[in-house]
Structure formats: structure tokens, C-alpha cells
Amino acid sequence: MAVKLINDVRSKLAVSLNVGDGSVRVLAGHGVRFPTLDTAGDWFPLAIEDVNGNIEYLHATARNGDEITVIRSQEGSIERGFPAGSLCELRLTVAALDARIEMMIEQGGGTPVNNSAVADVSDGTLGD
């Protein structure tokens, strides 16, 4: 299981996102901007934001063209409806950062690779 990250990936919702929906549809042709998820358990962080600044964080678990399968209401956010045209972008989140650090620790045999700092997400601090 790996978190996939790419810089500067954004689109807008092509259709409204309702409470209970398990996938989002981005503008036509924009799906390829987002990471490819080849292995079961791969995911990327996704944020939906409306014009009023309401944000929901989601974990994207699959992508087929412009449709992205998601797990809603992640990282303390509240599942809500969003109108078509709302911003949809890959954003670095605490959960994604924590997952990457865990991958580095696992690959390094149980200790941080290259003496990198380990995130303590319980209080948001970094420790050695």
C-alpha cells in the first residue's frame, strides 16, 4: 500500500458531489492529471473545496478516466455536498505525509532513512 503524490494537480467537479456518493467526476480529460493507482491499497489525497471555503478531504482509491473512486470524510473533515465547478485537487495532507514517512521507515529497516524526522501526527510536531 502506497500513497501516490504528484505536484500541482487540480481540476473542478464536472458534476455535483452529493452526500453518500463514492466517486467524483472531474472535468473531461482532467483525470489523467491525477496519479495512476496500479496496486491494491494505493491511494492519493484529494480535497474538494467550494466557493465558500468548505473543504472535505477524501482518499482516492481508484481512477478510471475522469472518474475517481473515493473514501469520504477523511482526516477529520465532514462529508457534505459540493456543486459542479468546485475545486478538486491533490493536496498534501497529514495522513499522506505520515504514510510516506511510514514507507521510508519500513524500507529503511525500522529506522528513519537518512536521519529524516518522523512526524508525530498526534500533536503535529516533528521528532528525531
The answer to whether position 36 is within a domain reads yes
Contacts of residues 112-120 at CB distance under 8 Å and 24 or more positions apart, as own/partner, are: 119/94
Please enumerate in sequence order all residues whose Cβ is within 8 A of that of 116, keeping only pairs 6 or more positions apart, or say none.
Answer: 101, 104
What's the chain's average pLDDT? 88
The answer to whether position 63 is within a domain reads yes
Instruction: Give the pairing type, strands 87-89 and 67-74.
Output: unpaired
Task: Select the more confidently predicted residue: 117 or 57.
Answer: 57
Q: What tens digit of pLDDT does each residue of 63-108 get?
A: 999 999 999 999 999 999 999 999 999 999 999 999 988 888 888 7
Q: What is the pLDDT of residue 109?
A: 60
Total domain count, the chain: 1
The answer to whether position 110 is within a domain reads no
Structural domain containing residue 21: 10-91
